[in-house]
Chains A and B, each alone.
Chain A
Amino acid sequence: MAVKRMVLEFGMGTDISGADPTKAALRALRDALSHNSLSIATALGQSPEAMTIDVHIGVPRPDKVDGARVLAALPHGKGRVTVVDGGLEVHDDVGKASTLIANACAIVSLDIQ
């Protein structure tokens, strides 16, 4: 048996005015998940719960991301999250508020023969 990548899902999320990196990361992951309907686990005779999902997030201030809240968006399988400094931050003209963009990739793997 060997764990192999099956699908990579990509998404983008924002927090327009709150500059909350967890909110942007969660939206990015939801965006990635909601553009794809996966039936590959059951097609290969496995339970969706057998999937392992490595979630990679790029967002400004990665240390402020609540990984457990992000992973709660996963409907099936065992999740792990890695957050790195990335995404994008755009400040407003008066320097008071900023808009955050988070990028997400969910790598879905299965243990196959």
Chain B
Amino acid sequence: MTGAAVAQGDKTRVILELGSGNDLHGCDYTKAALRAVADALHHSSLAFIRSLKIDKTKLGVEVTIGVQRPDLVQIEEIKALLPVGSPTVGVIKGGLDVPDPEHDDAAVIASAAVAVRVDVSALATSGKRARPPERR
């Protein structure tokens, strides 16, 4: 996966959540993508929203999905899964298809990245703002 969804203004990325999901039978790319996003979301809890008293509606949320058939992903279903903010969803070619030619089936795998952005200049805690290098 090399692309990214559209950046959202001047907000600084504070976390990138990563996940993968699959649909083992049926080649449902939307189902695989939904599971990938759910996996990404459920490996972290964004405690800073409460700690820094951030208005959740002002968070920037960018979802990027990688699947082999991006045209078959229902973007509105992905948006409905996001709990906060007004997400943008980008779907690009990626993920992995594992064909089973003997049974005319395939397992389809989706990758998901969810970037959460905050306007740090609006925070009371941001005395020394710096553009961050990415970590991990």
Contacts and interface: CB of A to CB of B under 8 A. Distances in A.
B18 A36 contact: yes
B48 A37 contact: no
A37 B135 contact: yes
A4 B136 contact: no
A5 B47 contact: yes
B40 A43 contact: no
B60 interface: no
A7 B15 contact: yes
A33 B18 CA distance: 10
Nearest to A51: B135
**Main SS at interface, chain B:** loop
A42 B130 contact: yes
Given A10-B45, A36-B43, A37-B16, A4 B51 contact: yes
B9 interface: no
30 contacts: A4-B48, A4-B51, A4-B52, A5-B48, A5-B51, A7-B44, A7-B45, A7-B46, A10-B43, A10-B45, A34-B18, A35-B40, A36-B17, A37-B18, A37-B134, A37-B136, A39-B12, A39-B13, A39-B15, A39-B16, A42-B131, A42-B135, A43-B13, A43-B120, A43-B129, A45-B126, A45-B128, A45-B130, A46-B128, A76-B135
Interface of B: 12-19, 39-40, 42-48, 51-52, 118, 120, 123-136
Interface of A: 4-11, 31-46, 48, 75-76, 107, 112-113
Given A5-B48, A10-B45, A112-B51, 19 more contacts: A4-B47, A5-B51, A6-B47, A6-B48, A7-B47, A9-B44, A10-B44, A36-B43, A38-B14, A39-B14, A39-B16, A39-B132, A39-B135, A41-B135, A42-B130, A42-B132, A43-B118, A48-B135, A112-B125
